[in-house]
Amino acid sequence: MINNAQIKLKIKDLIKHSGMTQTELARRLGVSSGTVSHYVIGDKMPTLSMLANICAITGADANDILCVNEFKKD
């Protein structure tokens, strides 16, 4: 089952591989760097619209961030 811990790690890796800092991503998203930090720490999850914006800015696939491809139907 997909969980917040997996999504948190995906967001953290995405930021790392994007070449942007959390501060730069926050600036481009129009939010505080603390907001992005909360996503990385995992104590808050981005809204669907924020996730869409993160994907648009970084070129990421939302299915990958949400671990959709890792979810297997029984």
- CATH number of the domain that residue 64 is part of: 1.10.260.40
pTM here? Answer: 0.84
Q: Which residues of the chain have pLDDT under 50?
A: none
pLDDT at 2: 76
pLDDT at 68: 82
pLDDT at 47: 94
Domain range enclosing 38? 4-70
What Å distances lie between residue 22 and 9, 34, 49, 72, CA to CA? 14, 9, 18, 31
pLDDT at 19: 93
Tokens of 42: 């995992």
Instruction: Quote the number of domains for the chain.
Output: 1
